[in-house]
A and B are shown apart, each in its own frame.
Chain A
Amino acid sequence: MNTGDTAWVLTSSALVLLMTMPGLAFFYGGLVRRKNVLSILMQCFIILAMISLQWMLWGYSLTFGPDIKGIIGNLDWFALKGVGGAPNADYAATIPHSAFMIFQCMFAVITPALMVGAYAERMKFSAFLVFTILWATFVYDPLGHWVWGTGGWLKNLGALDFAGGIVVHTSSGVSALVLAIMLGKRVGTENGITYKPHNMPFAVLGAGLLWFGWFGFNAGSALAANELATNAFIATNTATAAAAFTWPMIEWIVGGRPTALGCATGAVAGLVAITPACGFVTPVNALFIGILVSVFCYIACAKIKAIFKYDDSLDVFGVHGVGGIWGTLATGLFAEKVVNEAGADGLFFGNAHQFMIQCLLVVAAVIFAVVMTVIIFKLVDAVIGMRVEKKSELVGLDLTQHSESGYTLIE
């Protein structure tokens, strides 16, 4: 047991909580219209509450518990049975097993919260709750087991995902695209009209908090306060800085002005892309990952979305899906054993095999997330109905789903 490691992992857990609430909540909350701001904050907040409970009851056991055929963990650790102060050497030998559990809890929380941006402004609250708990249990938990759980089939193949480029961002990003398409466009956006963010300072504030909290997410994933955590920390900062700088430059080059939202969005894209790679690549290669993610995500948000006309309200697919996939593939290109002995060399360091594994990882995760999200959507839609009535959508979710309003006009 190492007290320094334990202190860092517990601190990191709190940092990752900050990413969801208030970081992500305000990033998304600022980008919607005034009449829906509370619905976003509420969805993020209650996900934090609900998934924390799901995780301690059965989510952790399904994801990290004793393996069943490489597919899922069993329920031996239901309600944290046997998950206590003694370290679990399979996951982290120098910290309490329960410290690893609570760190991972915050990952399980933020993943479904990322999807809030795709169905923003039109999802029924009751359906949202049911969808979220089913998605966490039948998409996140199995996929987490495949990639990170002892005995997981992708882990056994040698797939690399340091902090969740696949498990967190690709899974939520592609599921978000499915949701946006199946749910349909928001009323009034049929003719290519987009709605204006109601509070840009909130969005920028949220992005700043995400950057800050992400140090816990990525450097914390070293599960120790050591040189690997430091490498992850610096790689994270480098890729994010490169992406945040690149996005507004792209806007400038293509004939517009460099925007604050572009800078904030670039930062988030950079954070996403470096997530799977930060414990395997050098800070210099993180620079390339960061520059390129802004190019790919800009094309996805500004061009591809317009061509295919889906209403991914806040670009969850464009940033987290595309960024997560790029980061995972980039890990297969730039990974070096010099950085992390437990990792592997990538294509650029003579190991094409690792790149193939990363491709398989992406394909498996995308197919699984898409298929499962379609099934869960159909199920919840049949039983409850996923979308609010048109009239409720026009009035706004704050009033119709929560009987509140975010702002008053008169004192």
Chain B
Amino acid sequence: MKYIVAIIQPHKLDEVMKTLEEVEVNLMTVSHVLGRGRQKGVTEVYRGAKEAGSLLKKIKLEIAVNEDFVEPTIQAIIKGARTGDIGDGKIFVMDLPDVIRIRTGEKGGKAIG
């Protein structure tokens, strides 16, 4: 099992959800996050005073999948989130030792979906 974390552009969320649905990945956790890359965010100005290093608004997706779904999930996120410009985001893939469904107490691969 893998735990996939993707940081994407906020306006790409709808598309990513659609491309994930196409590969039958429907479960995800989504959060608003702030972050910056090598460009060091944006600068905001209030009454002429510059606010350096302000963070950019991003969306974080967290998806737990069985091994068969890892590559399709990654490809779906790329397909939905990619514009080719700076700031498209990143995908992190981590090993996932266990999953437990709280309602039934099921464990492992069958608890994931």
Chain B residues lying within 8 Å of A254, measured Cβ to Cβ, are 48
Set of chain A residues within 8 Å of B45, measured between Cβ atoms: 251, 256-257, 259
A315 and B54 within 8 A (CB)? no
**Distance A318 CA – B47 CA, assembled complex (angstroms):** 10
- Report Cα–Cα, A301/B49, bound state, in Å: 8
State the CA gap A315–B49 with chains docked (Å): 12
In whole angstroms, what is the CA distance A127 to B107 when docked? 59
Determine if B49 and A302 form an interchain contact, defined as CB atoms under 8 angstroms apart: yes
Q: Is A144 an interface residue (CB 8 A)?
A: no
Bound Cα distance from A22 to B54, whole angstroms: 30
Partner of B46, one of A259, A306, A318: A259
Whether, in the assembled complex, A194 has its beta carbon less than 8 Å from a beta carbon of chain B, the answer is yes
Is A315 in contact with B44, judged by CB distance below 8 angstroms? no
Q: Does A265 interact with chain B (Cβ within 8 Å)?
A: yes
In the assembly, what is the distance between CA of A302 and CA of B46, in Å? 9
A-B contact count (CB 8 A): 31
With an 8 A cutoff between CB atoms, is B51 at the interface?
A: yes
Residues of chain A within 8 A (CB-CB) of B54 are 196
Task: Pick from B45, B51, B54 the residue with the most CB of A within 10 Å.
Answer: B45
B43's closest neighbor in chain A, by CB? A256
Asked if B44 contacts A301 (CB within 8 A), the reply is no
Q: Complex: how many Å from CA A197 to CA B44? A: 11
B contact residues around A305 at 8 Å (CB): 49
Q: Give the residue name and chain of the B residue nearest to A196 (CB).
A: B51
Closest B residue to A319 by beta carbon equals B47
CA distance A257 to B47 in the complex (A): 11
Q: Which residues on the A side are within 8 Å of B49 (C-beta)?
A: 194, 302, 305-306
Interface residues of B in 49-69 (CB under 8 A from A): 49, 51, 54
Residue on A nearest B51 in the bound complex, by CB:
A196
Q: How far is the CA of A254 from the CA of B45 in the complex (A)?
A: 12
Whether A81 sits at the interface, judged by CB under 8 Å, is no
Query: A301 and B51: CB pair below 8 A?
Result: no
A298 at the interface (CB under 8 A from B): yes
**B45 and chain A: residue at smallest CB distance:** A256
Whether A261 sits at the interface, judged by CB under 8 Å, is yes
Are the C-beta atoms of A302 and B47 separated by less than 8 Å?
Answer: yes
Bound CA span A271–B65, Å: 60
Name which residue of chain B comes closest to A303, CB basis: B48
Residues of chain B within 8 A (CB-CB) of A259 are: 45-46
A301 surroundings in chain B (CB, below 8 A)? 47-48
Q: Give A237-259 as 1s and 0s: 1 = Cβ < 8 Å from B's Cβ atoms.
A: 00000000000000100101101
Residue of A nearest to B44 (CB): A196
Q: Assess whether A262 is interfacial by the CB under 8 Å rule.
A: yes
Q: For residue A248, give the distance in angstroms from its CB to the closest CB of chain B.
A: 11
B47 touches A261 (CB 8 A): yes
Which residue of the partner chain B has the closest CB to A301?
B47
Please give the distance in Å from B58's CB to the nearest CB on chain A.
18
Interface residues in A295-351 by Cβ distance below 8 A to B read 298, 301-303, 305-306, 315, 318
- B residues within 8 A CB of A265? 47
Q: How far is the CA of A298 from the CA of B47 in the complex (A)?
A: 7
Q: How far is the CB of A151 from chain B (nearest CB, A)?
A: 41
Chain A's nearest CB lies how many Å from the CB of B52? 8
Interface residues of B in 8-49 (CB under 8 A from A): 44-49
Q: Which residues of B contact A251 (CB under 8 A)?
A: 45, 48
> How far, in Å, is A303 (CB) from chain B's closest CB?
7
- Identity of the chain A residue whose Cβ is nearest the Cβ of B46 in the assembled complex: A261
- In the bound assembly, the distance between CA atoms of A305 and B47 in angstroms comes to 11
Give A301 to B54 CA distance when docked, in angstroms. 21
**Given A251-B45, A265-B47, A315-B47, 13 additional A-B pairs, CB 8 A:** A196-B44, A196-B51, A196-B54, A197-B46, A259-B45, A261-B47, A262-B47, A298-B48, A301-B48, A302-B47, A302-B49, A303-B48, A305-B49
Q: Which 8 pairs, one residue from A and one from B, show the smallest C-beta to C-beta distance?
A: A302-B48, A194-B49, A301-B47, A256-B45, A196-B51, A261-B46, A265-B47, A302-B47
* Chain A residues with a Cβ under 8 A of chain B: 194, 196-197, 251, 254, 256-257, 259, 261-262, 265, 298, 301-303, 305-306, 315, 318
Q: List 30 A-B contacts (CB under 8 A).
A: A194-B46, A194-B49, A194-B51, A196-B44, A196-B46, A196-B51, A196-B54, A197-B46, A251-B45, A251-B48, A254-B48, A256-B45, A256-B48, A257-B45, A259-B45, A259-B46, A261-B46, A261-B47, A262-B47, A265-B47, A298-B48, A301-B47, A301-B48, A302-B47, A302-B49, A303-B48, A305-B49, A306-B49, A315-B47, A318-B47
